[in-house]
Amino acid sequence: MVNTNTNALGIIFPNSYDALVPELVNVRLMASIPFASRYRLIDFILSSMTHADINNISVMVNNNYHSLMDHLDSGREWDLVRKNGGLHIFPPFAEKGSKPYNGRVGAMAGILEFLRDQREKYVVITDTNIVVNFDFKAMIQAHIESGADVTVAYNEQELPESFLKSESNDKGYYYTFGIEDGRITKIYVNSRKAGIQNFSMNMFVVERELLVDMINTAFVRGDEFFERDVLLPQLGRLNVHAFKYEGYVARICDMKSYFDENMKLLDEYNLDALFSGPAIYTKIHDDNPTRYIGSAKAENVMVADGCVIEGEVEDSILFRGVKVGKGAKVKNCVLMQGTVVEAGANVEYLIMDKNVTITAGKEMKGTNTFPVYIGKFQVV
Amino acid sequence: MAKEMIAMLLAGGQGSRLYALTQELAKPAVPFGGKYRIIDFPLSNCVNSGIDTVGILTQYQPLILNEYIGNGQPWDLDRLHGGVHVLPPYQKASGSDWYKGTANAIYQNISFIERYDPKYVIILSGDQICKQDYSDFLRFHKEKDAEFSVAVMEVPWEEASRFGLMVADENDKITEFQEKPKNPKSNLASMGIYIFNWDILKKYLEEDEADPNSENDFGNNIIPNLLRDQRRMYAYHFSGYWKDVGTISSLWEANMEILDPEHSGINLFDEEWKIFSRNSGMTGHKICAGAEVENSMITDGCRIKGKVRHSILFAGVKVEDGAVVEDAVVMGGTVIKAGAVVRHCIIAENVTIGENAVVGAMPTEEENGVATIGAGITVGDNAKIGPKAMINKNVEGGEEKW
């Protein structure tokens, strides 16, 4: 048999960092947050995995996951309907007296039997709050060549402002690294350090059997977080390597970064950087093309299919099926699927969640530093 | 397991009147309406009407069409029993033959049809743009206790002689058939969409095959034979949007009509009757600063920097700075370079129009041709393509073609 499959399976944590964007995950989870006019965050990771021939993928949903189940369906859009492997969605395995898990350790402890039974040699673990067109093959190759026990991807960037300012740890943990000769020697938890950091992308490659052992031991010890409780204390014993990623990275760390990272894609340089690699797959809606009618004006916008534009749109991202009425003005907005800006309305610096309606003639404005978010199904 | 009705879709036509567009492409695979191909319309109609088994009869340049249909999944036609099947002519123990005519194409696939043991068979044509509920057509067929029904459209009397016409009584019973007559007795044009009781169709196909003088054609042979035998034949009136897109000008016109659904009758924004297609998988389209877009349809992957007026752009079209696109149909992957002007034309897939080149012209009283550029062509910088031109070879920079 020709061995076309990468010898790795994928594990995705779709609820990671939900707490950073409480409004957006009110009716969903991190992985199903709409992004870049027609995608959801998980599309980037799933497509990257598919392109790396990783086609045995487990999604560890924890809560608020109906929207993600609907989005993923059988996994066909990502070519994940496979007899061997394919897409698995693992909700928490609840028994009488079992407590919900907090971190990766508890989540993976719940599927240890499954992990033991798989045949792939390696496991690739990721979150979904990070938008990348990632080459997992390169990372696995680097892992094999370095002989590391665990390889973690990072990029060099400054921490987002909200991370620097935050004084508590109640929104979760992020990690930065001290690296020597490609080996991670220090893991800093919530460092709040200014300047360029080796910022963890929370993507790991590890041998499956080693992972099973690590999780088994850690779970018995009562550990919760893979980085903080498993890797950090064992840095001396384990060979943990860093994989530097130099491609385009968009991180969703708060509402502001969600807005900014969408807007950044209006710059063609960024758009090409993210999308010129292999295609990013998403759920197909069979919308017809977008129609610009009469006196419609559009400048510097990214627009998905199924929209009807009769008014003016500028510097904005429009998802599928958005309607902008006659004489309406939309500027610096992120309008999610099915939103309606009725005739004569005037909106600026808004993030409108799905199916929001701004009624005729209304005016509503946020600011550059504080874009206003309007929840799903609201009518203004 | 028997099926009530299955569909046979005639998709073998060369579409020779589309010239440059069908050099390497079967007519049903010709792109239409921004993100569709013509065949998406009959296939979507089938699925929306509850028909889950479709045989597609192919013969001319089938490669792109075959790949496009694939396993039928985009139309929800990947089924355990039934689904979509591409049916090219094939070799049999008794010999082999190309499809000699529309009726012969069905005749050669009698064994395919019998696998599903259908009561009715609907014959569809792969070169029409139409949203039609075939289940309503079948209801009519059953109500009339018909053996054969044909969908008809009322056409203006002065144009009637261009069509195959059905003469029917007040009960819609067909009494006469006139193929492109000089003196029309009816203005009910056949749409080339038929429902047959399978036993009747089979009988007449076999009889037709045995006749060495037959052209093996539904219009010229099968329907006249049914009339001769006074079969129960009925005309089903259809009044929605229907357009034969067999010529360059009708294809261009049908595309333009999408831009005016309020008047033209075809509405692609219909949640109840979606037209499905295989998706390009590109990102949302980008209208850049300084671009102008007016009265147009634009889809995924397009990048617009110039001016686009009253046009249909397919997936991944690029319109560079200072370029002008007006009254144009521009198919997938085509690049209109800086300063080029394209007007009143059809530009096929993956064409490059060089800088400052001019393609087509707005119609005048003397000249209203639709310039047409075939797939994969490169038109050099500063070249000039006249409004009547039909280009299927690369055009050098500065060259003029009329």
pLDDT tens-digit series, residues A324-352: 999 999 999 999 999 999 999 999 999 99
Residue B32's contacts (CB-CB under 8 Å, 6 or more residues apart) are B38, B40, B41, B129, B245, B251, B254, B255
Residue A357: enclosing H or E segment and its boundaries?
Answer: strand A357-358
Nearest to B293 among A298, A302, A318 (CB): A298
State whether A226 and A344 are in the same domain.
Answer: no
Residue A280 lies in a domain: no
Q: Last residue of some domain: A275, A303, A324?
A: A275
Q: Do B285 and A303 touch (CB under 8 A)?
A: yes
CA dist., res. B271 & res. B269, Å (int) = 6
Q: Do A288 and B279 touch (CB under 8 A)?
A: no
CA dist., res. A291 & res. A307, Å (int) = 6
CA dist., res. B86 & res. B6, Å (int) = 14
State whether A171 and A230 are in the same domain.
Answer: yes
Token pair listed for A319: 């998802």
Asked if the C-beta of A284 comes within 8 angstroms of chain B's C-beta atoms, the answer is: yes
Q: With beta carbons less than 8 A apart as the criterion, state whether B198 and B118 touch.
A: yes
Q: Do A286 and B259 touch (CB under 8 A)?
A: no
Average pLDDT, chain A: 93
Residue B136: enclosing H or E segment and its boundaries?
Answer: helix B134-143
Q: With beta carbons less than 8 A apart as the criterion, state whether A131 and A35 touch.
A: yes
> What distances in angstroms separate CA B200 from CA A71, B178, B197, one per listed residue?
47, 22, 5
Q: Do A288 and B269 touch (CB under 8 A)?
A: yes
Q: How many CB atoms neighbour CB B36 within 10 A? A: 23
| The predicted structure's pLDDT at residue A184 | 95
Average pLDDT, chain B: 92
Interface test with B, best of A47, A281, A288 (most B CBs within 10 A): A288
Residue B91's contacts (CB-CB under 8 Å, 6 or more residues apart) are none
Asked if the C-beta of A318 comes within 8 angstroms of chain B's C-beta atoms, the answer is: yes
Q: Do A290 and B297 touch (CB under 8 A)?
A: yes
Place of tokens 């033959």: B97
Q: Last residue of some domain: A245, A275, A305?
A: A275
Q: Residue A73 sits in a domain of what CATH number?
A: 3.90.550.10
Residue A286 lies in a domain: no
Residue A200 has pLDDT above 60, yes or no: yes
Asked if the C-beta of A37 comes within 8 angstroms of chain B's C-beta atoms, the answer is: yes
Closest to B6 (Cα-Cα) out of B99, B103, B85: B85
Strand partners of residue B285:
A303
Query: What's the mean pLDDT in B78-106?
Result: 88
What percentage of chain A exceeds 90 in pLDDT?
A: 86
Q: Which amino acid is at B292?
A: E
Token pair listed for A310: 């009769």
Q: How many CB atoms neighbour CB A247 within 10 A? A: 12
Token pair listed for B276: 């499905």
User: For residue B320, which residues of chain A lie inside 8 Å, CB to CB?
Assistant: none
Query: What's the mean pLDDT in B77-89?
Result: 92
| Residue pLDDT, tens place only, B4-51 | 999 999 998 777 788 888 888 889 999 999 999 999 999 999 999 999
Query: What's the mean pLDDT in A292-309?
Result: 94
| Residue pLDDT, tens place only, B215-251 | 999 999 999 999 999 999 999 999 888 988 888 999 9
Interface test with A, best of B47, B75, B293 (most A CBs within 10 A): B293
Q: Do B297 and A292 touch (CB under 8 A)?
A: yes
Q: Do B269 and A291 touch (CB under 8 A)?
A: yes
Residues, chain A:
380
Q: With beta carbons less than 8 A apart as the criterion, state whether B221 and B214 touch.
A: yes
| The predicted structure's pLDDT at residue A3 | 52
The model's confidence at residue B90, banded by pLDDT at 50, 70 and 90, is confident
Residue A284 lies in a domain: no
Alpha-carbon torsion, ordered B45, B50, B53, B54, to 10 deg:
-10
> What distances in angstroms separate CA B355 from CA A29, A275, B323, B328, one per listed residue?
48, 26, 8, 17
What percentage of chain B exceeds 70 in pLDDT?
A: 100
Closest to B296 (Cα-Cα) out of B286, B282, B307, B305: B307
State whether A96 and A187 are in the same domain.
Answer: yes
State whether A295 and A271 are in the same domain.
Answer: no
Buried b (16+ CB within 10 A) or exposed e, A45-69: bbbbbbbbebbbbbbbbbebbebbe
Q: Do B290 and A299 touch (CB under 8 A)?
A: yes
The model's confidence at residue A73, banded by pLDDT at 50, 70 and 90, is very high
CA A173 to chain centre: 16
CA dist., res. A51 & res. A136, Å (int) = 8
State whether A181 and A262 are in the same domain.
Answer: yes
Residue A98's contacts (CB-CB under 8 Å, 6 or more residues apart) are none
| Residue pLDDT, tens place only, A10-32 | 999 999 999 999 999 999 999 99
Q: Do A298 and B287 touch (CB under 8 A)?
A: yes
Dihedral sign, CA of B392, B330, B344, B65?
positive
Q: Do A298 and B291 touch (CB under 8 A)?
A: yes
Q: With beta carbons less than 8 A apart as the criterion, state whether A124 and A11 touch.
A: yes
- Name the burial class of residue A269, with classes exposed (0-12), middle (13-18) and buried (19+) by CB atoms within 10 angstroms of its CB: exposed
pTM given for the model: 0.90
Nearest to A289 among B281, B283, B299 (CB): B299
The range of the structural domain enclosing residue A316 comes to 291-374
State whether A58 and A151 are in the same domain.
Answer: yes
Closest to A8 (Cα-Cα) out of A124, A117, A88: A124
According to DSSP H, which parts of B185-337 are helical? 198-210, 223-228, 248-258, 261-264
User: How big is the CA angle at A285 (ends A280 and A290), to the nearest 5 degrees?
Assistant: 90
3-class DSSP assignment, residue B316: coil
Q: With beta carbons less than 8 A apart as the criterion, state whether A120 and A8 touch.
A: yes
State whether A350 and A253 are in the same domain.
Answer: no
Dihedral sign, CA of B37, B39, B41, B43?
negative
Chain A residue with CA closest to B297: the answer is A291
State whether A37 and A147 are in the same domain.
Answer: yes
Query: What's the mean pLDDT in A134-138?
Result: 96
According to DSSP H, which parts of chain A are helical? 41-51, 66-72, 104-109, 112-117, 136-146, 161-165, 208-221, 255-264, 268-275
CA dist., res. B150 & res. B267, Å (int) = 24
Most distant CA atoms of chain A, gap in Å:
68
Closest to A302 (Cα-Cα) out of B50, B92, B10, B299: B299
CA A224 to chain centre: 21
Query: What's the mean pLDDT in A33-57?
Result: 95
Asked if the C-beta of A275 comes within 8 angstroms of chain B's C-beta atoms, the answer is: yes
Q: With beta carbons less than 8 A apart as the criterion, state whether A238 and A185 touch.
A: no
Closest to A292 (Cα-Cα) out of B298, B194, B176: B298
Q: Do B35 and A288 touch (CB under 8 A)?
A: yes
Residue B358's contacts (CB-CB under 8 Å, 6 or more residues apart) are B340, B341, B342, B383, B384, B385
User: For residue B257, which residues of chain A lie inside 8 Å, CB to CB?
Assistant: none
Place of tokens 């690049």: B335
Residue A354 lies in a domain: yes
Interface test with A, best of B283, B311, B321 (most A CBs within 10 A): B283
Q: Residue A352 sits in a domain of what CATH number?
A: 2.160.10.10
The model's confidence at residue A1, banded by pLDDT at 50, 70 and 90, is very low
State whether A247 and A331 are in the same domain.
Answer: no
User: For residue A317, which residues of chain B lie inside 8 Å, CB to CB?
Assistant: 284
Residue B197's contacts (CB-CB under 8 Å, 6 or more residues apart) are B119, B120, B146, B147, B148
Residue A282 lies in a domain: no
State whether A295 and A270 are in the same domain.
Answer: no
Residue A222's contacts (CB-CB under 8 Å, 6 or more residues apart) are none
| The predicted structure's pLDDT at residue A5 | 58
Closest approach of B257 to chain A, Cα-based (Å): 13
State whether A85 and A222 are in the same domain.
Answer: yes
Q: Between residues 208 and 267 of chain A, which touch chain B (CB distance below 8 Å)?
A: 266
Q: With beta carbons less than 8 A apart as the criterion, state whether B336 and B330 touch.
A: yes
As for how many domains chain A has, the answer is 2
| Residue pLDDT, tens place only, B349-396 | 999 999 999 999 998 888 888 999 999 999 999 999 999 899 999 999
Residue A283 lies in a domain: no
Nearest to B283 among A37, A296, A299 (CB): A37
User: For residue B312, which residues of chain A lie inside 8 Å, CB to CB?
Assistant: 289
State whether A50 and A168 are in the same domain.
Answer: yes
Q: With beta carbons less than 8 A apart as the criterion, state whether A301 and A315 touch.
A: yes
The model's confidence at residue A369, banded by pLDDT at 50, 70 and 90, is confident
CA dist., res. A200 & res. A202, Å (int) = 5
Asked if the C-beta of A336 comes within 8 angstroms of chain B's C-beta atoms, the answer is: no
Closest to B149 (Cα-Cα) out of B222, B232, B217: B232
Residue A91 lies in a domain: yes
Asked if the C-beta of A328 comes within 8 angstroms of chain B's C-beta atoms, the answer is: no
Residue A380 lies in a domain: no
Half-sphere exposure of A75 (CA within 13 A, CB side): 20
* Residue-wise DSSP of A118-133: ---SEEEEEESSEE--
CA dist., res. A285 & res. A289, Å (int) = 11
Q: What is the ipTM of this complex?
A: 0.86
User: For residue B293, which residues of chain A lie inside 8 Å, CB to CB?
Assistant: 292, 296-298
CA dist., res. B197 & res. B176, Å (int) = 20
CA dist., res. B133 & res. B171, Å (int) = 21
CA B361 to chain centre: 26
CA dist., res. B172 & res. B154, Å (int) = 13
